[in-house]
Amino acid sequence: MTDIVIYHNPDCGTSRNVLALIRNSGVEPHIIEYLKTPPVRALLVEMIERAGMTPRELLRAKGTPYADLGLDDTSLSDDALVDAMLAHPILINRPLVVTPLGVKLCRPSEVVLDILADAQRGALAKEDGQQVVDEAGHRIPAA
């Protein structure tokens, strides 16, 4: 069985779509509702590095205190941005998924297919109706 962790926000449609794609591969992931249980600093920094991102690239501005905290200031250090994400987990963009094949911020949701070892088991459409996996379990290219 493949060990997969999703840092999930159940109120986010993209996060729910990613969870559905993981489950469609036959795996029940470890679900961490990161707003309730944020990662510790060392883990957050490790995931950012493994994803090949910078802390700024993981920051979420929409629906967060991003502007109020002045996080658009490009002179802020990576440490300051990580501190902000730890103090306000809503600033961590989601969903982050960790698999044996890597770590990714899965936006759009079908990006998770790049790091799933197990094939999709059937057709799957996102909540908005967009088909992303066909009946044979193959990824449908974006139009």
Residues serving a catalytic function are: 12
Query: Distance between CA 9 and CA 63 in Å, rounded?
Result: 13
137 vs 114: CA distance, rounded Å = 14
41: three-class secondary structure by DSSP: helix
Short-list 98, 102, 62, 67, CA closest to 84:
67
- Sole residue written with tokens 């982050």: 96
Distance (Å, whole) CA 115 – CA 92: 20
